[in-house]
Structure 1
Amino acid sequence: MPPRTTAPASTTHNLQARPTLPPLERTWVPRAASASTPTTSATMDNEKIPNLLGEQRDQAPDELQHYFIDFEDFWERRLWHELTDKLIEYFATPESAKQRIPLFETFIKSFANKINQLKLVKLGLDTATQYRDEKERLTFVAALAKSVNKPASQDAYVYATVAVASIKLRIGDYDGARKQLDECEQILEGFDSVETAVHASFYRANAEYYKAKHEFAAYYKNALLFLACVDLDELELRERQARAYDLSIAALVSDSIYNFGELLLHPILDSLLNTPHAWLRDLLFAFNRGDLIAYDVLAGNISKVPLLKEHQTFLYQKISLSALTEAVFRRPPHDRAMTFTTISEETKVSPNDIEHLIMKALSLGLLRGTIDQVAEIARINWVQPKVLDMKQIESMRSRLREWDASVNHLGNWIEGVGKDVWAA
């Protein structure tokens, strides 16, 4: 007789009665000598960052503590753009100075690769101001530059590298600064467009390098380019005055700058008004119009500036050239054949030096023409254009009136003489 079989249990009963998996198959085997996993790291950050922000909030002035609530809120919600802008706003307050280093080193670095790298450098440079020792500051900024030296953030790399060059200039490492500025210039030339702040920082550092090396024309060019990249109102009055002073000195002593038009028209020059250096502004305008009388009045101030005193002979030659070009400019094109005697009277240069003065003007491209050494006559057919002041504009206005009157006179004469011709 066959053995009795038990009827199968219901499906539900079978599921409930299914045996569990062996322990070995369900147990997670940890990695040997494993560091914390990303989840563990995130957990650590979630604990560490709020504690850090809480400590820094307690140390902050009462009126700034609300920033830390925003920091934590934006950080928890991963709103990196909003967090970055709020940090920049906070770092811009003078009261944040003592907290910049701890915030940057422990908080900002934890998400540095998630934010705009140019803004990261901005935060880093604000932090660097809190290092009192230049070598410590150099180490910090150099590391910052290295961290953003990536194909996608070359603008940030230039911004940070220029800051490194500026520090090297302050500690006297001119060769190192020049090398890095040349590298930055090469990178900038490859950009189609870049933030104005990056160009401004480059031109500022480049100008400071040329100032230190007494390369006046290069300083003048880069200083004006820097001013073209910034809003003057954002510069402190003291800095505006210092830059106007330095630009004035560079324009005067440079042996290749004879046209001050761009500087004379720039509002930076007005920052010298009502200061002990206001005479420099007046001197520049005197040079522009070749005013030897005004130069003689202001010449007593030249000895106050060692660099001007050192170039005093050159300055007199320079304004003599300006007087020559002004004398030519005042004449109509058909009346620019001038005797050496006339030139000597108008420029107050010795008759024996007139020929050399004209040759100098021709070689510098200030004038074009020929010299008749036998007859002692200079025939000028072109004079370099320059910025006109109100007196010069009035002089041009008078010449235009004279030209208009002569044209009318000629027209009336032709009409009177040619009546029979017109009638025919």
Structure 2
Amino acid sequence: MSIRSAIVIGGGISGPVTATALRLAGIDATVFEAYPGPAYGIGSNLALAPNGVAALDIVGAGDAVRARAVPISRSAMSVNGKRFELPGMADIEPLRVIDRADLHQVLHDNAVAAGVPFAYDKRLVEVEEHAGGVTAVFADGSSATADVLIGADGIRSSVRTLVDPKAPAPTYLRMLGFGAYTDCPVELEPETMTFAFGRRAYYLYWAMPDGRVAWGANLPSEQYYSLTEARAVPAERWLRTLRETYAGEDPGEQLARSTTPAQLAVIGALHIMPPVPHWHRGRMVLTGDAIHAPSNTSGQGASLAIESGIELARCLRDIDDPAMAFATYEALRRPRVEGVAARVARMNQTKAAGPIARKAMQLMMPLMFKRMDPEKMLGAEQRFRIDWDATVRPAAVPV
């Protein structure tokens, strides 16, 4: 019996994309979101790699994202104030940096245009599986029934716990995230992102088309602050800490001093997801950050979430048995997402490197860049394309 309906838990990035792809596959999908409305205003900005934008083209959202995003065609690295140009790849679309709220709105509006219904104030509390499918029960007492349930509910996924009560929790990177768009009198090259390893903390920055400067900070912190806890701290206090941290950095000090409390976006604790042993159980399956959230260093977090939602829809379109469809989806995706996570695992440590390690980085960088082959390092990641029209064959899954 073919799969005709799906419940999608989570209305951020992967949820609307997955639901839109399911609609394209002929499967009715409804998105249920715990927030009272579309999750605009959560976070600051994020990067979409060429593979992620190409995946958005499949669901019809690529051009809308391009229209709102800032293209980044070049990158550089700065260590203790010494700047190095990074080699790039030829014949590839630029990185696209977009405000998270803008991305949420584009994906939501694109899903609605495709016929996807959204239901808000729906916090999942229980899932009941039965012969006819699966029923989601929400905190307000309402429920919904479909053939399958998809957990696209982020790094703190409730569905992940239902799939596997022993599933690992996200790993805190001992860094807090901040971002801002600010008016700062520094000369920056257009379409260029600089990754700066300051004496005390890592940050990155790039020019906006309107003359402002966008920047993000990763502040080392042994103390954990959730998003709610971090935002409970007055922005003035965080700015004071950022200004002390980046004092003497060029242009870190100028960026921190130019940023106003109203401009500062507080993100709180930064996490990664360790490998998740079980991606599915029965009629439930996970996608996006619920199972793979690599470090923001990867530049692939949102792109991989988008890809996975589309690949899941392909599997459910072409394979009638949910268990086999889920197993095939996992076989398609796990090697790719865990490969990206492995590539960036060591890079996280350099963000909080001490002064001696940073001096060594400064001395080694010129030699490293001469030997760097961006095509070999990133080509397979960024040139990856989903063939939507190809039929998915069931994977040979060991029993």
Please tell me the TM-score bracket, short chain as reference.
under 0.3
Q: If you compute each CA radius of gyration, which structure gives the higher value, 1 or 2? A: 1
Higher relative contact order (CA 8 A, sep 6+): 2
- The structure with the largest helix share of the pair is 1
TM-score by length of 1: 0.21
